[in-house]
Amino acid sequence: MDDSVVINIFNEGCDLGNAAQYHKSIACFRACIRMRPEWGSAHVLLAEALLKTGNLEEGFAEYEWRLPTLHPYCEKFDVKNRWNGDSLQGKTILVYSEQGIGDAIFVSRWFPFLKNMGAKIILYCPDWVAPLMRHFDVDHVLNMSEPVNSYDCHCASFSLPHLLKEYQPQSSLDLPIQKDKSDKLRVGLVWAGSNQSGRDPIRSIPLRHFACLKEVDGIELYNLQTNERPDLAAEGLDMIDWSNVQSMEDYAFSIGKLDLLISCETAAMVVAGTMGVPCWALAPRNYDWRVSIDGTTSVWYNSVTMFRNFDCWDEVLQRVKLSLEEENAKKRSVANFRTENR
């Protein structure tokens, strides 16, 4: 068969996925794989589309095709010692945090299953998130700048659901946070991720779109945008600056003091969801599978409500504003009730 036919079907699948027509994109990628069974990119994109549609078992199985592309992981760790799902009783497994900072936190939901198998866990993760990961059920956390200690086997973090055959456990994180009482609604804002991400153009939001929130009386806005994005900056939005943190652990403590976090697709949303902090996640039409939307909720986090962009960010933020006014009214009603009943 002419290669151009397969490539055209593959490109059609990509276009359909970008338009959030995931079931149609799945059909395209399946067709590609029938014609080219060993085409890793088609398998990975099929996996992501399956995960977005809730087919987690097949999706995570297909996602194993990403492993050859994890070059630092493949170069550093011998494939012969890669965990294959067998017994971990009395063994030490090194879990390699393979993707972003938020992903290290996302996969923590599978750590208890490793512990239940009798394993000791070494988590190998980015330096900035390492202090926070010590609050999870792991035996040792290694910064990626540190030498690797001895272990029996290793596993790339997103292989855990496939190997454990556990697809949708919830995650939790309980930090000792002292939250000051306030009659005002404390709302944190995060509007951009790293500009190094391929998804940055569709997930990061110019700050000017948030200007309508200043029209909501009686709330306190907090800046939790840790990476400077002057390309997305705007004036006129009065915020208390909580962005100067030294680690993801500091960041989590700040998020835990909020009444609500409003965030685009970033690690902040993952932290809030894991801690059970109410979070309104602003998701593009073609959302990331680690958001996985079911209506207005995330299948991964009970405390996360989704505001999806079907048209433009101004329309999304107007919906956010209306919901924020409702939340603020509830907060004021409770405060008034307490005052009247003192």
CATH number at residue 13: 1.25.40.10
Q: Give the whole-angstrom CA distance, residue 103 versus residue 101.
A: 5
Tell me what pLDDT residue 117 has. Answer: 97
Residue that the structure tokens 């006129």 belong to = 236
- Same domain assignment for residues 57 and 89: no
Of 164, 193, 223, the residue that ends a domain is 164
Q: Name the nearest CA neighbour of 35 among 78, 1, 63, 60.
A: 1
Q: Is residue 179 part of a domain?
A: no
- Contact partners, residue 196, CB within 8 Å, separation at least 6: none
How far is Cα of residue 16 from the mean position of the Cα atoms in its chain? 23
Q: Name the nearest CA neighbour of 224 among 257, 183, 196.
A: 257
Q: In this structure, are residues 74 and 135 in contact, taking their beta carbons and an 8 Å threshold?
A: no
Q: Is residue 177 part of a domain?
A: no
Tell me what pLDDT residue 198 has. Answer: 80
Of 67, 91, 112, the residue that ends a domain is 67
Q: Is residue 134 part of a domain?
A: yes
185 pLDDT band, cuts 50/70/90, is very high
What is the H or E stretch that residue 6 is in? Answer: helix 3-18
Q: Is residue 104 part of a domain?
A: yes
Q: Give the whole-angstrom CA distance, residue 293 versus residue 308.
A: 9
CATH classification at residue 256: 3.40.50.2000
- Same domain assignment for residues 41 and 97: no
Q: In this structure, are residues 151 and 93 in contact, taking their beta carbons and an 8 Å threshold?
A: yes
- Same domain assignment for residues 132 and 197: no
pLDDT(233) > 70: no
* Tokens standing for residue 83: 């965990």
- Same domain assignment for residues 144 and 191: no
- Same domain assignment for residues 270 and 285: yes
Phi, psi of 261 (to 5 degrees): -115, 135
Residue-wise pLDDT for 286-300, tens only, equals 888 988 776 788 889
Three-state DSSP state, 185: strand
pLDDT(156) > 80: yes
Residue-wise pLDDT for 256-315, tens only, equals 999 999 999 999 999 999 999 999 999 998 888 988 776 788 889 999 999 999 889 999
Top pLDDT among 333 and 102 is at 102
205 pLDDT band, cuts 50/70/90, is very high
* DSSP state string for 206-257: -GGGGGGGGGSTTEEEEE---S--GGG--SS---EE----SSHHHHHHHHHT
- Same domain assignment for residues 217 and 277: yes
Tell me what pLDDT residue 194 has. Answer: 80
Of 42, 67, 92, the residue that ends a domain is 67
228 pLDDT band, cuts 50/70/90, is confident
* DSSP state string for 116-167: HTT-EEEEEE-GGGHHHHTTSS-SEEEETTSPP---SEEEEGGGHHHHHT--
Greatest alpha-carbon span in the chain: 80
Tell me what pLDDT residue 339 has. Answer: 57
Task: Look at strands 140-143 and 120-125 and give their pairing.
Answer: parallel
- Same domain assignment for residues 335 and 189: yes
Tell me what pLDDT residue 269 has. Answer: 95
Tell me what pLDDT residue 293 has. Answer: 72
Q: Give the whole-angstrom CA distance, residue 224 versus residue 189.
A: 6
Q: Is residue 306 part of a domain?
A: yes
What is the H or E stretch that residue 95 is in? Answer: strand 92-96
- Same domain assignment for residues 105 and 122: yes
Give the pLDDT mean for 65-86: 93
CATH classification at residue 130: 3.40.50
Domain of 63? 3-67
Look over the chain and give the mean of its residue pLDDT values, rounded to a whole number.
91
- Same domain assignment for residues 214 and 146: no
pLDDT(84) > 70: yes
Q: Is residue 75 part of a domain?
A: yes
Q: Is residue 176 part of a domain?
A: no
Residue-wise pLDDT for 26-49, tens only, equals 999 999 999 999 999 999 999 999
- Same domain assignment for residues 202 and 312: yes
Q: Please list the residues that pair with 223 across neighbouring strands.
A: 189, 241
pLDDT(333) > 60: yes
pTM listed for this prediction: 0.91
Q: Give the whole-angstrom CA distance, residue 333 versus residue 261.
A: 21
Q: Is residue 180 part of a domain?
A: no
232 pLDDT band, cuts 50/70/90, is low
Q: Give the whole-angstrom CA distance, residue 253 versus residue 222.
A: 13
237 pLDDT band, cuts 50/70/90, is confident
Burial class (CB in 10 A: 0-12, 13-18, 19+), 92: middle
| Residue % of the chain over a pLDDT of 70 | 94
Give the pLDDT mean for 57-72: 95
Q: What is the tally of structural domains in the chain?
A: 3
- Same domain assignment for residues 297 and 214: yes
List C-alpha distances in Å: 249 to 2, 173, 284. 53, 11, 27
Residue-wise pLDDT for 171-183, tens only, equals 888 888 888 788 8
Q: Give the whole-angstrom CA distance, residue 223 versus residue 93.
A: 38
- Same domain assignment for residues 120 and 207: no
